[in-house]
Chain A
Amino acid sequence: MERSPPQSPGPGKAGDAPNRRSGHVRGARVLSPPGRRARLSSPGPSRSSEAREELRRHLVGLIERSRVVIFSKSYCPHSTRVKELFSSLGVECNVLELDQVDDGARVQEVLSEITNQKTVPNIFVNKVHVGGCDQTFQAYQSGLLQKLLQEDLAYDYDLIIIGGGSGGLSCAKEAAILGKKVMVLDFVVPSPQGTSWGLGGTCVNVGCIPKKLMHQAALLGQALCDSRKFGWEYNQQVRHNWETMTKAIQNHISSLNWGYRLSLREKAVAYVNSYGEFVEHHKIKATNKKGQETYYTAAQFVIATGERPRYLGIQGDKEYCITSDDLFSLPYCPGKTLVVGASYVALECAGFLAGFGLDVTVMVRSILLRGFDQEMAEKVGSYMEQHGVKFLRKFIPVMVQQLEKGSPGKLKVLAKSTEGTETIEGVYNTVLLAIGRDSCTRKIGLEKIGVKINEKSGKIPVNDVEQTNVPYVYAVGDILEDKPELTPVAIQSGKLLAQRLFGASLEKIYHTLFWPLEWTVAGRENNTCYAKIICNKFDHDRVIGFHILGPNAGEVTQGFAAAMKCGLTKQLLDDTIGIHPTCGEVFTTLEITKSSGLDITQKGCCG
C-alpha cells in the first residue's frame, strides 16, 4: 500500500530534485496505518510534472484560503512549540502533518520550491510565508505576527512594487498575468541639476538605451570617415550637432515611456506617479509631485528602487557637476569635458563624447573597469587614448569652482594625486561624475518595518528567492547585496577571480589579435582588436572566460554565452565552423596559448 515514492531522487530527475538537507526528514516516514492516510493529489504516474503541478495548485489554494497554515510533522518538537504558540493566542490553525499523509515527501519538495525552506515546521499567516519555528517566535516577539494575524484579507492590493524600472515593471506585469491585483509606484526624484524623466527606470531613461544610441552616433562619425575610403564622396568637414541628436534620442525615450504606461494599463496594473515609503507593516505612503499623500496596503511588497549616481562630497560637486542622470538630456553640447571615474559608465560616456569630436579627459583614481578582466580593461583604455581621450591616472578631484556661467559654462577643477602631495588644476566646460552608484534604500521607510539593509553599502540582503528578512517584502535589481550586477561579464569575472585565487595553473588561455575586414580598406589600425578565451585544463578544457574587444562585441558575445551555459569546451570551439568573414569566427580558430608567448598578430584572411 505504500504509494509514496522512494525519497532518493530517481536517475531521470536528478536535475530538479530538491536538496533535502537533514536526516530526520528522511527518517520521517510511514508510522501510522495506511487506512488513516489522506491523499493530497490524485493517483497516477507519481513523478509526472502534471501531478506535481496539481499538488502545487492545491497547496497554494490551501495557503490562500487559510488564516494560518502549519506544515508540520507529528513527532517534531519544533512543530509542537509553534502549534502551542498559536493555540495560546487563541488562533485556529490549519495543520498538515506531513508524516501522516501519503505524499508528504512530495508536499515537502513542492513547499521547498515555493519557499526555499526545506524543513518543518513551515508557517504561513494570511498568505505570508513567515518561515520556521525560530522566525515565527521572532515575529511574535517583534509584534509582526500579531500584526499579520490582525490583517484580514482586505488589503488594497496583492502586491505593491516600489520602483518602475526594468525589474519592477517585469515583476508587475508577470504578477498581473497571474491574476494578482498589482500596483506600481514610481517617482523620479530630480537630480541636483533638476533632471527628471518618465516611467521605465535607469535603463530606458538614463542608461543602456540613450547610452547605446549616443554610442551609435559616435560610431556613425567613424563610419563617415571610413566611407570616403569606400568610395563615398563628400568634401565638406562634417560637424556634429548635439541638439539634433539629443532631441531624436529623447523622442525615442518618450515613446518607450509611453509604451510602458500602455502595457501596464493593458495588464490592469495600477500605476501611481508618487514617491513610496513604508509607514507601518503592510502599509505605504505615496506622495505625489504636489505633496499630496495617499496610503495603500498590500499583502506583499517588492522593492525595486534601483540606484542613482554618487557624488564626491567635495566643494562644488552638487552645484556644478553633472552625472549620467543629466548627460543624455543635456540641452546644450557639453564642450570640453572632464569625466571623473573609471567605471563602464565613465568610459562609455568619455568614448562617445570624444567620438563627437569633443575634448575629453578621464580622471581615474586607481584601475579601469574594476571587476572586469584587467588585461581587456587596459586594452580598452589604450584604444581610447589612441583615439584622443586623455587620461589622468591616480588623481582625485578636491574642489570644483565656477568661473563662468553659461551653456555650457566654465569650471575650474582642482585635483590631488593619490600617491603624493602633487595637485593639478584644469578648466573644463562640463564635469561629469561617474564614480559609482548608490542604492535608493535609505529614504523609503525600511526601518519602520524592520527590513535590514547593509548599513555601509545600502544594499538589501535577500535569500535565494529574493526575500528580505521581513517575510512579505522582496527586493529585485541593482539594490541586492552580493548579487551580480546584471552583465554576464561580471558573473564570469567572478568565476575567473576564483580560478586565480585557487590556482593559476588551472587555466589555459588562448588569444589572438585580429583585424576586422571592414577596418582594412578603411585603413583603421591593425593589432587593436583582441579575442581571448580561458579554459579549465582539469575540466576537459571547459571554457570559463570569454572576452572580445572589437566591433559588435555585444552581438558576438551573446551566442557564446548561451554556449557556455551548455558546457562549452575548447574542443567544441575547434569543431565549430566559422562564419566567414566575420569577427566572431576568430574564436573557432584560436590556436596560440598565452603561455607559449607566440606572435598573435593576424596574417592573411583565413587560417
Chain B
Amino acid sequence: MEDQAGQRDYDLLVVGGGSGGLACAKEAAQLGRKVAVVDYVEPSPQGTRWGLGGTCVNVGCIPKKLMHQAALLGGLIQDAPNYGWEVAQPVPHDWRKMAEAVQNHVKSLNWGHRVQLQDRKVKYFNIKASFVDEHTVCGVAKGGKEILLSADHIIIATGGRPRYPTHIEGALEYGITSDDIFWLKESPGKTLVVGASYVALECAGFLTGIGLDTTIMMRSIPLRGFDQQMSSMVIEHMASHGTRFLRGCAPSRVRRLPDGQLQVTWEDSTTGKEDTGTFDTVLWAIGRVPDTRSLNLEKAGVDTSPDTQKILVDSREATSVPHIYAIGDVVEGRPELTPIAIMAGRLLVQRLFGGSSDLMDYDNVPTTVFTPLEYGCVGLSEEEAVARHGQEHVEVYHAHYKPLEFTVAGRDASQCYVKMVCLREPPQLVLGLHFLGPNAGEVTQGFALGIKCGASYAQVMRTVGIHPTCSEEVVKLRISKRSGLDPTVTGCCG
C-alpha cells in the first residue's frame, strides 16, 4: 500500500469546480500539495451550459443578485423625481441588455477562476468524473476520450441541480429552472414561478421588478425553515408590489399552445377545482437534488442517504471511506450556502495538510434572502427558539421602522421590520436576529459576529447607533412582544 501511495498522480483530487471545490484546491496548492480539479457541466434539459465556478457564479448568487440590483434600480428610478431628478416615467427595461451585461460579468469570473488555478499550479480537467475504485476516478472529456486520475485524498464537491417535477406532463419539455433563467437571450415575458423556496421568491421578485407579469404558485408555506412571521411579511411586500400569488395550488399539466404560449393546469387544494392559465415561461423552483448519480459512488464505497441521495459525512467531512471527503450542497444535512462550502473546504484542507484540528461550526449561520424587500437573518427563528427554550424563557424585541430614504420618496414601509429573539433570563443572550428592509445582507453580517461573540441584549443596547441608518434600529430595540406595546418607531431619533 505504501508503495502504491507514492505512485498516485495527486495528493488531492477535487471533484467539482464550484466555490467549495475551488477553495479546497487553492488552499491545498498553497500548502505545497499536488492538486487536480475536475469539473464538468451537464447541460440543463433546455441545453444551458456554463463555465468554471459552479452554481454560485454561473446560475446562483452572482447573476441572481445582479438581476435583483436591476430590479432595485427600477425602484430607484421611480424614487428619483421626488429627489429632484427629472426622469420621464415610465422607463422601459431591456432584458437583452441586462442579460448580456450579467453574462459578460459571469464569463469574466469563469476566466478569473481558470487563471487562479493556473497561478497556483492546480491541474484543471474539464471532464465528467466517476469513481473506478476508492483512489481512482475516470474522466470522460467532451470528445469521449477517457482519462484515469488517482489521488491519496479525494474531495467530492459536485453540488446540486434544480429538481424537475417527475409526474407533471410537459414539465421537462417546456419548463425552465434557475439553471436557464440567467442565460435566457430573450425576456421570459409573462412568467409562472412554481415553488416557495428562496430561489422561487427571489426570481419572481426581480422579474416583477423589471416589469414582467409574474405569478408564484405555491403548495404550502413560503420559505420553510425561516422565521414564519418574517416569511409572511416578505410575501405581503411582494404581493403589494405586483407579484401575483396562487397559494394552495399545485400544477398538474403544461402544454404548448399553437401560438407558442404555455397553458398550465393546476389544482386548487382549497376548492378542489381545476384551473388554467397561460404564460410565456414556466420556471420550476421546487428544490434541488444532489449531483451524485453519475459518480459511481458505490464503486468507491461512499454511502449516501437513501432518501435524498446526498452524501453522509461526519463532523470532519469524512465519508464512509476515510480518505474520501465531501463538502458543500452535495452533503446531507448542511445549509446549502456558498460561504459554508468555502469555509468547510478550507478547514478540511487545513486539517488534511496544515496540521490543524479545527472543525467547521454550523451554528448561527447568517444568510439573506434577496427578495425585493431583503430579509437577513442569523440564529434561531422565533418558532425554533420557543421550541428549544419554551415560550416563557424567550423574549422577542421588535420594531416597525421607516428607512429615511423612503420618506421623501413616499414609499410604503409597512413591512420594514426588525426583531431580535433573546433568552428572557438576564443578560438576555441573543438567539436570533431577523431584519426585513433595504441592504439586509450588509446589516446582518456584523450582527452575525456579535452573536458569534455571545452577544446579549444588554450589550447590543449599549452599542452606539450609526445615525441615520436602518441598522441602528437593531440597537434601539426597546419594545418586547410580551409588553404588547406598539412597536412602530416614530420621530427620527430616540
Q: Scoring B residues 446 to 478 as 1 if CB is less than 8 Å from chain A, else 0, what string do you get?
A: 111110111110011011111111111011000
Which residues of chain A are near B367, meaning CB under 8 Å? 579
CB distance from A376 to the nearest CB of B (A): 15
Q: Please tell me if the beta carbons of B466 and A224 are within 8 angstroms of each other in the complex.
A: no
Partner of B445, one of A223, A252, A565, A582: A582
Most buried by B among A518, A563, A587: A563
Q: Please tell me if the beta carbons of A220 and B80 are within 8 angstroms of each other in the complex.
A: yes
Q: Please tell me if the beta carbons of A558 and B474 are within 8 angstroms of each other in the complex.
A: yes
Which residues of chain A are near B66, meaning CB under 8 Å? 230, 517-518, 520-521
Which residues of chain A are near B83, meaning CB under 8 Å? 213, 216-217, 220, 244-245, 248
Assuming the contacts A203-B492, A220-B83, A605-B62, asked whether A565 and B462 have C-beta atoms less than 8 A apart, the reply is yes
Which residues of chain B are near A148, meaning CB under 8 Å? none
Which residues of chain A are near B405, meaning CB under 8 Å? 212-213, 216
Q: Please tell me if the beta carbons of B463 and A562 are within 8 angstroms of each other in the complex.
A: yes
State whether the Cβ of B439 lies closer than 8 Å to any Cβ in chain A.
yes
Q: Please tell me if the beta carbons of A203 and B493 are within 8 angstroms of each other in the complex.
A: yes
Residue of B nearest to A201 (CB): B493
Q: Scoring A residues 238 to 262 as 1 if CB is less than 8 Å from chain B, else 0, what string do you get?
A: 1111111110110110001001100
State whether the Cβ of B352 lies closer than 8 Å to any Cβ in chain A.
no
Roughly how many angstroms separate A242 CA and B102 CA in the complex, as a whole number?
Answer: 34
Q: Scoring A residues 208 to 224 as 1 if CB is less than 8 Å from chain B, else 0, what string do you get?
A: 11001100110011011
Interface residues of B in 339-375 (CB under 8 A from A): 339-340, 342-343, 346, 361, 365-368
Roughly how many angstroms separate A200 CA and B493 CA in the complex, as a whole number?
Answer: 9
Residue of B nearest to A173 (CB): B494
Q: Please tell me if the beta carbons of A577 and B109 are within 8 angstroms of each other in the complex.
A: no
Most buried by B among A259, A263, A491, A518: A518
Assuming the contacts A554-B471, A579-B367, A587-B445, asked whether A240 and B113 have C-beta atoms less than 8 A apart, the reply is no
Which residues of chain A are near B91, meaning CB under 8 Å? 227, 232-234
Partner of B87, one of A224, A251, A256, A607: A224
Q: Please tell me if the beta carbons of A565 and B463 are within 8 angstroms of each other in the complex.
A: yes
Q: Please tell me if the beta carbons of B76 and A223 are within 8 angstroms of each other in the complex.
A: yes
Q: Please tell me if the beta carbons of A588 and B445 are within 8 angstroms of each other in the complex.
A: yes
Which residues of chain A are near B188, meaning CB under 8 Å? none
Roughly how many angstroms separate A35 CA and B88 CA in the complex, as a whole number?
Answer: 89
Roughly how many angstroms separate A259 CA and B454 CA in the complex, as a whole number?
Answer: 37
State whether the Cβ of A471 lies closer than 8 Å to any Cβ in chain B.
no
Q: Please tell me if the beta carbons of B453 and A563 are within 8 angstroms of each other in the complex.
A: yes
Q: Please tell me if the beta carbons of B19 and A244 are within 8 angstroms of each other in the complex.
A: no
Which residues of chain A are near B151, meaning CB under 8 Å? none
Q: Scoring A residues 463 to 500 as 1 if CB is less than 8 Å from chain B, else 0, what string do you get?
A: 00000000000000000000000111001000000000
Residue of A nearest to B101 (CB): A521
A-B contact count (CB 8 A): 321
Which residues of chain B are near A236, meaning CB under 8 Å? 88
Q: Please tell me if the beta carbons of B452 and A560 are within 8 angstroms of each other in the complex.
A: no
Comparing B42-50, B67-75, B166-174, B274-282, the segment that makes contact with chain A is B67-75
Q: Please tell me if the beta carbons of B77 and A558 are within 8 angstroms of each other in the complex.
A: no
State whether the Cβ of B291 lies closer than 8 Å to any Cβ in chain A.
no
CB distance from A18 to the nearest CB of B (A): 18
Q: Please tell me if the beta carbons of A606 and B449 are within 8 angstroms of each other in the complex.
A: no
Assuming the contacts A166-B493, A231-B98, A565-B459, asked whether A573 and B84 have C-beta atoms less than 8 A apart, the reply is no
CB distance from B449 to the nearest CB of A (A): 4
Most buried by A among B81, B98, B449: B449
State whether the Cβ of A152 lies closer than 8 Å to any Cβ in chain B.
no
Q: Please tell me if the beta carbons of A559 and B450 are within 8 angstroms of each other in the complex.
A: yes
Roughly how many angstroms separate A566 CA and B468 CA in the complex, as a whole number?
Answer: 23
Q: Please tell me if the beta carbons of B453 and A561 are within 8 angstroms of each other in the complex.
A: no
State whether the Cβ of B79 lies closer than 8 Å to any Cβ in chain A.
yes
State whether the Cβ of A585 lies closer than 8 Å to any Cβ in chain B.
yes
State whether the Cβ of B442 lies closer than 8 Å to any Cβ in chain A.
yes
State whether the Cβ of A397 lies closer than 8 Å to any Cβ in chain B.
no
Interface residues of A in 514-557 (CB under 8 A from B): 517-518, 520-521, 552, 554-557
Assuming the contacts A212-B404, A556-B445, asked whether A487 and B466 have C-beta atoms less than 8 A apart, the reply is yes
Q: Please tell me if the beta carbons of A552 and B439 are within 8 angstroms of each other in the complex.
A: yes
State whether the Cβ of A409 lies closer than 8 Å to any Cβ in chain B.
no
Partner of B439, one of A217, A256, A555: A555
Q: Please tell me if the beta carbons of B73 and A227 are within 8 angstroms of each other in the complex.
A: yes
Assuming the contacts A220-B79, A562-B455, asked whether A581 and B65 have C-beta atoms less than 8 A apart, the reply is yes
State whether the Cβ of B249 lies closer than 8 Å to any Cβ in chain A.
no
Residue of A nearest to B22 (CB): A607
Partner of A580, one of B23, B113, B339, B447: B339
Residue of B nearest to A252 (CB): B407
Q: Please tell me if the beta carbons of A572 and B442 are within 8 angstroms of each other in the complex.
A: no
Roughly how many angstroms separate A554 CA and B446 CA in the complex, as a whole number?
Answer: 11
Q: Please tell me if the beta carbons of B80 and A559 are within 8 angstroms of each other in the complex.
A: no
Q: Please tell me if the beta carbons of A557 and B466 are within 8 angstroms of each other in the complex.
A: yes
Interface residues of A in 36-50 (CB under 8 A from B): none
Which residues of chain A are near B105, meaning CB under 8 Å? 520-521
Roughly how many angstroms separate A518 CA and B83 CA in the complex, as a whole number?
Answer: 22
Partner of B85, one of A166, A212, A221: A221
Interface residues of A in 340-380 (CB under 8 A from B): 356
Which residues of chain B are near A251, meaning CB under 8 Å? 408
Partner of B442, one of A239, A577, A582: A582
CB distance from B396 to the nearest CB of A (A): 18
Number of A residues whose C-beta is below 8 Å from B? 87
Q: Please tell me if the beta carbons of A577 and B365 are within 8 angstroms of each other in the complex.
A: yes
Which residues of chain A are near B231, meaning CB under 8 Å? none
CB distance from B182 to the nearest CB of A (A): 12
Q: Please tell me if the beta carbons of B86 and A606 are within 8 angstroms of each other in the complex.
A: no
Q: Please tell me if the beta carbons of A220 and B450 are within 8 angstroms of each other in the complex.
A: no
CB distance from A305 to the nearest CB of B (A): 17
Partner of A239, one of B62, B86, B366, B455: B86
Roughly how many angstroms separate A221 CA and B494 CA in the complex, as a whole number?
Answer: 31
Roughly how many angstroms separate A113 CA and B92 CA in the complex, as a whole number?
Answer: 64
Roughly how many angstroms separate A241 CA and B210 CA in the complex, as a whole number?
Answer: 26
Assuming the contacts A242-B84, A579-B367, asked whether A231 and B445 have C-beta atoms less than 8 A apart, the reply is no
Assuming the contacts A220-B80, A230-B70, A577-B339, asked whether A563 and B455 have C-beta atoms less than 8 A apart, the reply is yes
CB distance from A246 to the nearest CB of B (A): 8
Q: Please tell me if the beta carbons of A578 and B101 are within 8 angstroms of each other in the complex.
A: no
Q: Please tell me if the beta carbons of A213 and B466 are within 8 angstroms of each other in the complex.
A: no
Residue of A nearest to B27 (CB): A607
Which residues of chain B are near A249, meaning CB under 8 Å? 408
State whether the Cβ of B153 lies closer than 8 Å to any Cβ in chain A.
no
Which residues of chain B are near A607, meaning CB under 8 Å? 19, 22-23, 26, 342, 346
Given contacts A248-B408, A577-B366, 19 further A-B contacts (CB under 8 A): A209-B492, A213-B83, A230-B97, A231-B96, A231-B98, A232-B73, A232-B92, A232-B93, A238-B86, A241-B86, A356-B84, A486-B464, A559-B448, A561-B464, A562-B463, A576-B449, A581-B62, A603-B115, A604-B116
The interface of chain B, by Cβ under 8 A from chain A, is 19, 22-23, 26, 53, 56-57, 61-62, 65-66, 69-70, 73-74, 76-77, 79-88, 91-99, 101-102, 105, 109, 112-113, 115-116, 210, 337-340, 342-343, 346, 361, 365-368, 376, 404-405, 407-408, 438-439, 441-450, 452-456, 459-460, 462-472, 474-475, 490-494
Complex A-B, nearest 9 residue pairs according to Cβ-Cβ distance, in ascending order:
A559-B446, A584-B445, A231-B98, A245-B84, A558-B471, A560-B446, A566-B453, A559-B447, A582-B441
20 CB contacts below 8 A, A to B, read A203-B492, A209-B404, A213-B407, A220-B80, A224-B80, A233-B91, A234-B91, A236-B88, A239-B86, A356-B84, A518-B66, A554-B466, A558-B475, A560-B446, A563-B453, A565-B455, A577-B337, A583-B442, A606-B23, A606-B339
